[in-house]
Amino acid sequence: MTEQSPLAPFILDEAGATQTSHCLMLFDHDMEEVENVFGEHNAEGNGHDWEGLAQSLVHSFMPELADRLASEPSPAPSSSLART
């Protein structure tokens, strides 16, 4: 059994040590598996909600990167986060 990342359902691209930026990715099928949680907490599950979740996960599990996080959320149910 594989261990689930603490950033799940997000996936961090970890291409290599020389890479200066990383992308925290979320795919449609991953969102669909957990989107009901937003409704249970009276949230819409839009891009801003997903961005908040991603920021919370990074602050909790990767605090050394939290101040280097840039985001481009949209009202649609997706968000794009990157460390620069």
pLDDT tens, position by position, 11-39: 887 766 666 677 788 877 777 878 888 88
Based on the structure, what is the number of domains in the chain? 1
Is 70 contained in some domain?
Answer: yes
Is 59 contained in some domain?
Answer: yes
What the block records as the tokens of 66 is 């939290």
Is 61 contained in some domain?
Answer: yes
> What pLDDT is attached to residue 33?
77
Share of the chain above pLDDT 90, in %: 2
User: Which amino acid makes up residue 46?
Assistant: N
83 three-state secondary structure: strand
Is 4 contained in some domain?
Answer: no
At residue 16's C-alpha, the angle toward residues 59 and 6, to 5°, is 30
> What pLDDT is attached to residue 60?
92
| Residue-number span of the structural domain to which 32 is assigned | 11-83
Is 2 contained in some domain?
Answer: no
> What pLDDT is attached to residue 57?
87
Is 6 contained in some domain?
Answer: no
At 72, is the pLDDT very low, low, confident or very high (cuts 50, 70, 90)?
low
Query: 10 pLDDT exceeds 50?
Result: yes
pTM of the model: 0.67
User: Do 79 and 47 form a contact (C-beta atoms < 8 A)?
Assistant: yes
Distance of CA 39 to the CA centre of its chain: 18
